[in-house]
Amino acid sequence: MRKLLYLSFLISSFGFSQKKQNILFTNGYLHVGNGETMEIATIGVKGDRIAVVKNTLTYKPKQNEYDTIIDLKGQHLYPGLVAPNSTLGLTEIDAVRATRDYDEVGQFNPHIRALIAYNVESDVISTVRTNGVLITQITPRGGWITGSSSIMHLDGWNWEDAAISKDDGIHLNWPNSFPGRGNGADTQETEKRKILYQETKREIYDFFNTAKAYAEKKDHKIPELRLEAMKGCMNGKKRLYIHASELQQLLDILDFCREFDIKFPVIVGGYDSYLITTQLRDAKIPVMLPRVHMLPENTDDPIDLPFRLPSILQNAGVQFCLQNEGDMEAMNARNIPFLAGHCLGFGLTNEEALRAVSLSSCEIMGIDNDYGTIEEGKKATLFVSTGGALDMITNNVKMALMDGIWVDLNNRQYELYKKYKNKYKMQ
C-alpha cells in the first residue's frame, strides 16, 4: 500500500529503513552540483539511482509509483559532498598510535592498499557525514610512494560494502625542493638540500623506469608485488596523485609526467600552482588545492592568497577541487563544506564553490559518471539541509541517502549534546 509521508525536519533519519525504496522529494531548492539550480524541484529516486529531476510545478508522478513522498517545503537538496585525500576511517585518535593505520615503513610502497584498513565503525566518520560529507578518498601516508588510495562511502557494513572505487590511484610524495635561505653556515646546508633533492628525484626516476619496463613485458613468471601495483599508472588505467606545493616541484613534475607519459596525473597540494596556470591548463593536470583555512606559505605572499587560490585557478581554466590534508585532517573533514563557503568572499559564486567539493572532486577522481551531481541516471547519494550547506550557521543536515539507502545522521557528539542539555534543563 502506498505511503504518503510528509516529514518534519525536526526528526532525524535514524528510524528509516535500510532497504532501497522508491522515494519522491518535492518542493526542494535543488543545487545540482554542476553550477545549476532549480528553485522548486522534484527528485525521484528508484532503487539506488535518481530517476527523475523535474520542476515540481510541471511534474505529476504516476499513481503508486513511489513508496514514500517527502515534501521538502523549500529546503535545500545537495549532492553528497566529497573529502579527497584523507585519512578518514584510517585513524581514530591521532595521539594514540594503535589507532593510526595509514603509514607503512619503507620508501616505495605502491602495493600498500588503504582499502583493507578502512574502519566503517569509526566514531569520527559519523560526525563527518552529519555535515553532508558522504564520500571520501582514503589515502595512505609515508615514504615517497605511499600506496594505493580508494574511494569510499561514509557508511556500510564493512570496507567491501563501502567501496566505490577500489585502488583508484597511486600516491607519490615529491621530495621537498625548498633550498632554504641564509648566508654563511646556511649556504652549506642549502647545498646539501639541493644535492639531496636531486638524489631523491633520481631514485624516483629509477623506480618509474623499472616500473615502465615491467609493465611493457606481458608475462612474468614471478610477479613483483610493487611493480604489479604500478601497472595501472604506467598503462593509463589509474591515476597518479603527486603531492607537491612548491614552484620548483611543480615544474619538475610537469617534466616528469611528459617523460613517463603519465595519462592521468593529479597534483595534490599545489600551493604555487597559481604561478603556472597556463602550463597546468595546457597539460590538463588538475589540482587538489590545500585547505583554505591556512596562513600564507611565504613571507611575501598576500595574506588572503590561500582564500583566493580557487578563484585564480577557476579564472585560468585549471580544473581543481578542495581537500583538507593537514593536522587532524580526519576529524576536520567535516569542515569541507565550510572551506568551500569561505571562498564565496574571494571570487567564487555559491554554485562554483559547491562544485569544488562535489562534481569537480568526482571528475578528478574519475567517479563523475555516478556521483557529484543530482541528475537522472546517477547514484542517489544526496542530502537535505534546512539552510545553505556551505555556511556554518545555516548548515543543518536532516536527511541523507547513500546509493538510495537512508543514512543514520546520529553521532556520539550529538548524543552528548542532548545528554547534557537535558541534564541542565532539569535543574
CATH topology of domain 1-80+372-427: Urease, subunit C; domain 1 (2.30.40)
Higher pLDDT, 177 or 160: 160
Q: Grid coordinates standing for 6?
A: 510528509
Torsion of CA 211, 213, 217, 219, to 10 degrees: -50
CA distance 126 to 123: 5
List pLDDT tens digits, range 100-153: 888 888 899 999 999 999 999 999 999 999 999 999 999 999 899 999 999 999
Contact 68, 5 (CB under 8 A): yes
Strands 37-46, 49-55: pairing is: antiparallel
pTM of the model: 0.90
List pLDDT tens digits, range 280-307: 999 999 999 999 999 998 889 999 999 9
In the chain, the amino acid numbered 320 is F
CA distance 2 to 12: 22
CA distance 123 to 236: 37
CA distance 190 to 9: 60
CA distance 396 to 87: 25
8-state DSSP, 10: T
List pLDDT tens digits, range 41-56: 999 999 999 999 999 9
Q: In a 3-state reduction of DSSP, which class is residue 400? A: strand
Instruction: Write the CB contacts of 160 (distance below 8 Å, at least 6 apart in sequence).
Output: none
pLDDT surpasses 80 at 3: no
Let me know if 243 is exposed, middle or buried by CB neighbors in 10 A (0-12, 13-18, 19+): buried
Alpha helices in 163-246 (DSSP H): 185-216, 225-234
pLDDT surpasses 80 at 20: no
The listed CATH number (3.40.720.10, 1.25.40.10, 3.40.630.30, 3.20.20.140) that belongs to domain 81-371? 3.20.20.140
Closest CA to 112 of 69, 88, 141: 141
Q: What percent of the chain has pLDDT over 90?
A: 73
CA distance 267 to 277: 12
Determine phi and psi for 252, rounding to 5 degrees.
Answer: -70, -35
CA distance 75 to 388: 9
CA distance 396 to 374: 19
Strands 37-46, 22-31: pairing is: antiparallel
Alpha helices in 13-101 (DSSP H): none
CA distances in angstroms from 186 to 180, 247, 287, listed in the order given: 8, 21, 33
8-state DSSP, 16: S
Q: Which pLDDT value is given to residue 180?
A: 52
Q: Domain residue spans in the chain?
A: 1-80+372-427, 81-371
In the chain, the amino acid numbered 111 is H
